[in-house]
Structure 1
Amino acid sequence: MTEVVVQAGVAGTRRGSPREVARAGGLHPLGVFILLAGAFLPIADFFIVNVALPSIGRSLRATPGALELVVAAYGLAYAALLVLGGRLGDRMGRHRLFQIGAAGFVLASAACGLAPNTWVLVAARLVQGATAAALVPQVLATFHAVLEGERKTRALALYGATSGIAAVVGQLAGGLLVTADIAGSSWRPIFLINVPLGVAVYYIAGHVVPATRSPHPSRVDLPGTLLFGGTLVALLLPLSLGHTLGWPTWTWALLGLAVVLGALTVRVERRSERAGLTPLLPPSVLRLPSMARGLAMVLPFSVGFGSFMFVFALTVQNGLHADALVGGLSILPMAAMFLLGSLVSAKIINRYGRAAIAAGAATQALGLALIATVMVETWPHVALIALAGPLALIGAGQSLLFAGLFRVVITDVPAHHAGIGGGVLITLQQSGLALGVATLGTIYLALEPHSIPTAFATTVGIQFLIALLLTVGARFLPRFTSGTRSDEPVVFDA
């Protein structure tokens, strides 16, 4: 496939066959679907492991700390390398990095599914996270660089929806696959299922995704990359393992180091940009109204979302003594409403803008308040059907939040920085998911031995406050207009 350099909006046509459109530098609807499928697999993989951890522990005789590493290794590699993946895509070609990431993800998933012991599994999860970091940023970058107008708006909304649906479906699929125990393979199909799906994505993408790169490729910012990656590792590693290990001294030392490394990252990146170079995290890009204000909402939203999925799964399985299948199916009302909401979210957001984001946050807050009330008032005889209504409200609200925030964040990012914008966005989302499990999940685990309903209500109450803050915070997002062409400046009004 011939690689072309495109500006946003130049090659967004969808006339002709998918292959012809891709060769012309455009993106056919099938290409949009394949890119979204490529993003779906790595995002779902973060959540699919949750319900399988007990089975992995029994099968591999893994300690609780080792099981934490099975989750943390993937998240650490994924979050730490996402921005670098976006930068390499801008420089080397987004289609090329997408396929490299897809091929690596397939091979790493096979290694996870065939792992003979815990440490091979942890190592394979590290590779899996790293290859996901090469794959995922290319999706947003390609949308941002190739599509225009309403097509771009819909694609960004669908990406936000895909992120949320992948999280919910991942947990649901994990329960189904573990319970099915295919050929006595226990938990292994949760990884092996990525192999045929990933191969299909790799093959089809080779024919329907245009080979584009940034018109202004920049060198890799090695100092910024090392400092930024070190900051994330120093922050997320102790937060992921601290509770399990009893918060030894090294966890606090790493948290202190994260502060130092973060400050150094900011200083080095500012100096690099003043010198006329293109840093890994350009301060000028991060100061864009949509980027700065949107990211300020993406982080707390991701913290609340990640912790809710974790806490709800534990409450249903440990508190209500449901098996993995029931635990996965119990989230179905949330998944269904998320999917339905995602189908109409693009039109709603295009018409109502930031008001739709505020409405989504308020709807989520209502659902969280109701589910906490049901849990506390009917415990221990909680009927899962009584949770369906609140879960549906949570899913509907989150569909608007996901789609709206993802659209806002990268709307005014220049096309030649598309990979950077997508990488920063997904990094913050992934880091927020991990922080949610590490912080609110720790609060839940500390309170659970005393009272499961109190533990659930406390953590969901914090998530409720986050949703209220998002409702108010939507007022301060840049006002975006519908139908804005992506090759023109977006009109913002604070």
Structure 2
Amino acid sequence: MTRPSNTETATATASTTDTGSDTASDRPSADGAPPGPATLTPLALLTVLLGASLSSIDFFVVNIALPSIERDLHASPATLEMVVAGYAVAYAVLLVLGGRLGDTYGRRRLFLWGVAAFGLTSLACGLAPGAWWLVGARGAQGAASALMLPQVLGTIHATTRGERRARTVALYGAVSGVAGLLGQALGGALVAADLGGTGWRAVFLVNVPIAAAAVAVGARTVPDSRVERPARSDVLGTVLFAGALTALLLPLTEGRATGRPLWSVLLLVAAPLLGWAFGAVEGRAERTGGSPLLPPSLLREPAVRRSLVLGVPICIGFSGFMFGFAILLQQGLRYGALRAGLTVVPMGLTQIPAAMLVPRLVRRWGTRAMTRAALVHAVGLTVLGLTVLWSSWSGLSPLALAPGLLLCGAGQGVQLTLYYRIALAAVPAARAGAGSGLVATVQQSCLAVGVATIGSLFLALVPGLGMRDAFVTALGVQLAGLLWLALLSLRLPRMLKT
């Protein structure tokens, strides 16, 4: 199914929070002066980027492995949905809390804990004796990602300045964006290789040595950073926020596969009530000088609202496309796991350089670079849709699909990286921690919703229209979202704040 991809949103703990300023080291200088920012060495940067890519890869890696999981564990469609939904929901729900913990206890410590937990939960996934064990392990893996991811750009923000920060963030955007594509390609390669007879289990077991290496290197190289005066805990707000988001996302991601049972309806009814209660609690905490998890005044900032809305078509469209395309390749075109995984490689070939060009594009076009990226992506979807529609079914080779995918990758690379820059620039400096956490949560929630909406629409249309027409219809929905994105971007101030 999908995600993802992760991104600059992880700055949830990156800079000043509502109650304190950021420092990159706890050690005072020899003369007793406040410590200056620590240095983020190339090896340390590689380590934190590796951690960020792991969480994104595993959001998507199961797309190609699901047919094998279904056969091996005799999993029902509803259980397979939970393999994906458990990760997505836990990831989205706990991101803001993960950022707050990094603020308080230090980002290096939380990053290392998160990577270690990710390795252990990956091992639990790879050794799963049954389907529901895998569901539980995937939920724990999502929680580990939520602990790890907010620390990455937080560390980058606290330890870099000026042009070096811009280049580093662009690199992070490129790595994060392509990680979702790499997840499906890697998943296909590992399932096809069947290393030691592990089959689909290898897509999880491969994380274990990588995580162990990241912990060993990160403990020596990643500089610490935290806020000087961390915010007090907001237990009630955290519980209500988690409850509201779970009540919304779980029925959306799991309801279709389970036949819309009563519990899913009751949760959807409870979601707005829990959301209202969360808003009331947070508003009271802000008025009385407390430390709300997400200050309501943040959403009253027009620039913040506009920037968050930009992420809806980007993230929903990306996850819905990756889910539907994986099904089209494996179930419709009967591609093997390796061929299906490698088919998405052309998107990565253009997505990485496009993301790295964002600083230059912003200097030239400002926020209108988002408009152009949306239009390029729309052209790519159109080319891909016409290819699927007009080619013979047997003639739909990876080479035939490549032109549309190349254009989609170029547009997607700019969109993802630029979206996070726009969103974070809109957040007032005094709200940087909470605002970045909100951006991260919106991103991950929309990734989950993309599977539940565009993905479910595609599956619902297959029996009546067939795989080809159902996929083209789903592309049409995503195309409409991109045109909406282009119109939204025209309402942004042309120059981007830094």
Mapping for residues 191-270 of structure 1, pairs under 5 Å: 191-270=204-283
Aligned-partner residue type, residue 395 of structure 1: G
In structure 2, do the counterparts of structure 1 residues 417 and 214 end up closer, same or farther at CA, with 3 Å as the change threshold? farther
Aligned-partner residue type, residue 243 of structure 2: G
Q: State which of 380, 392, 397 in structure 1 corresponds to 2:411.
A: 397
2:436 match? 422
TM-fit CA distance, 1:10: 8.1
TM-fit CA distance, 1:414: 5.5
TM-fit CA distance, 1:478: 4.0
SS in 2 for 1:476: coil
8 Å CA contact 1:161, 1:338 repeated in 2: yes
**Is 2:90 the partner of 1:77?**
yes
Deviations 1:364-421 (A, max 9, x none): 0111111111111224232332211110000000000011011111125456654433
**Is 2:430 the partner of 1:433?**
no
Deviations 1:115-152 (A, max 9, x none): 11122211211111111111001112222333222222
Aligned-partner residue type, residue 466 of structure 1: G
CA distance in 2, matches of 1:124, 1:419: 29
**Is 2:476 the partner of 1:470?**
no
**Is 2:473 the partner of 1:458?**
yes
1:18 match? none
TM-fit CA distance, 1:9: 9.7
CA distance in 2, matches of 1:235, 1:48: 24
CA distance in 2, matches of 1:298, 1:98: 25
CA distance in 1, matches of 2:170, 2:415: 10
Aligned-partner residue type, residue 193 of structure 2: A
Aligned-partner residue type, residue 255 of structure 2: G
CA distance in 1, matches of 2:483, 2:316: 14
TM-fit CA distance, 1:246: 1.2
Mapping for residues 133-144 of structure 1, pairs under 5 Å: 133-144=146-157
| TM-score, L = length of structure 2 | 0.90
In structure 2, do the counterparts of structure 1 residues 407 and 33 end up closer, same or farther at CA, with 3 Å as the change threshold? farther
CA distance in 2, matches of 1:422, 1:135: 15
In structure 2, do the counterparts of structure 1 residues 203 and 233 end up closer, same or farther at CA, with 3 Å as the change threshold? same
Q: State which of 161, 174, 177 in structure 2 corresponds to 1:161.
A: 174
SS in 2 for 1:116: coil
8 Å CA contact 1:99, 1:205 repeated in 2: yes
Q: State which of 324, 333, 339 in structure 1 corresponds to 2:352.
A: 339
Q: Which shows bigger deviation, 426-435 or 403-412? A: 403-412
SS in 2 for 1:278: coil
TM-fit CA distance, 1:279: 0.7
CA distance in 1, matches of 2:122, 2:22: 36
8 Å CA contact 1:358, 1:475 repeated in 2: yes
SS in 2 for 1:25: coil
Aligned-partner residue type, residue 403 of structure 1: T
CA distance in 2, matches of 1:216, 1:413: 20
8 Å CA contact 1:290, 1:408 repeated in 2: no
1:275 match? 288
Q: How many residues align?
A: 470
In structure 2, do the counterparts of structure 1 residues 65 and 10 end up closer, same or farther at CA, with 3 Å as the change threshold? closer
Mapping for residues 362-381 of structure 1, pairs under 5 Å: 362-381=375-394
8 Å CA contact 1:140, 1:419 repeated in 2: no
2:3 match? none
TM-fit CA distance, 1:469: 1.0
8 Å CA contact 1:23, 1:210 repeated in 2: no
8 Å CA contact 2:22, 2:225 repeated in 1: no
1:302 match? 315
In structure 2, do the counterparts of structure 1 residues 285 and 34 end up closer, same or farther at CA, with 3 Å as the change threshold? farther
1:385 match? 399
Q: Which shows bigger deviation, 170-179 or 118-127? A: 118-127
2:109 match? 96
SS in 2 for 1:280: coil
Deviations 1:431-474 (A, max 9, x none): 11110100111110111122212111111101001111111111
Deviations 1:93-134 (A, max 9, x none): 111111111111111111111111122211211111111111
Q: Which shows bigger deviation, 337-346 or 225-234? A: 337-346
2:29 match? none
In structure 2, do the counterparts of structure 1 residues 142 and 415 end up closer, same or farther at CA, with 3 Å as the change threshold? farther
CA distance in 2, matches of 1:416, 1:401: 26
CA distance in 2, matches of 1:288, 1:103: 37
CA distance in 2, matches of 1:410, 1:404: 10
CA distance in 2, matches of 1:172, 1:340: 19
8 Å CA contact 1:157, 1:407 repeated in 2: no
8 Å CA contact 1:214, 1:417 repeated in 2: no
1:107 match? 120
Aligned-partner residue type, residue 385 of structure 1: L
CA distance in 1, matches of 2:427, 2:303: 8
CA distance in 1, matches of 2:463, 2:454: 15
CA distance in 2, matches of 1:437, 1:261: 23
CA distance in 1, matches of 2:392, 2:279: 48
Aligned-partner residue type, residue 409 of structure 2: G
CA distance in 1, matches of 2:214, 2:364: 33
CA distance in 2, matches of 1:202, 1:185: 25
Using the aligned pairs only, state the percent identity: 45
8 Å CA contact 2:283, 2:295 repeated in 1: yes
Deviations 1:271-297 (A, max 9, x none): 211111121111233444553222111
SS in 2 for 1:111: helix
| TM-score, L = length of structure 1 | 0.90
CA distance in 2, matches of 1:397, 1:265: 36
SS in 1 for 2:463: coil
For structure 2, list consecutive stretches of 5 or more residues without a partner in the other structure.
Answer: 1-13, 26-34
1:484 match? none
8 Å CA contact 1:145, 1:415 repeated in 2: no
In structure 2, do the counterparts of structure 1 residues 359 and 10 end up closer, same or farther at CA, with 3 Å as the change threshold? farther
Aligned-partner residue type, residue 143 of structure 1: I
Deviations 1:228-281 (A, max 9, x none): 111111111111111111112221221111121122222221221111112111
In structure 2, do the counterparts of structure 1 residues 131 and 169 end up closer, same or farther at CA, with 3 Å as the change threshold? same
CA distance in 2, matches of 1:114, 1:417: 42
8 Å CA contact 1:158, 1:403 repeated in 2: no
CA RMSD of aligned residues (A): 2.2
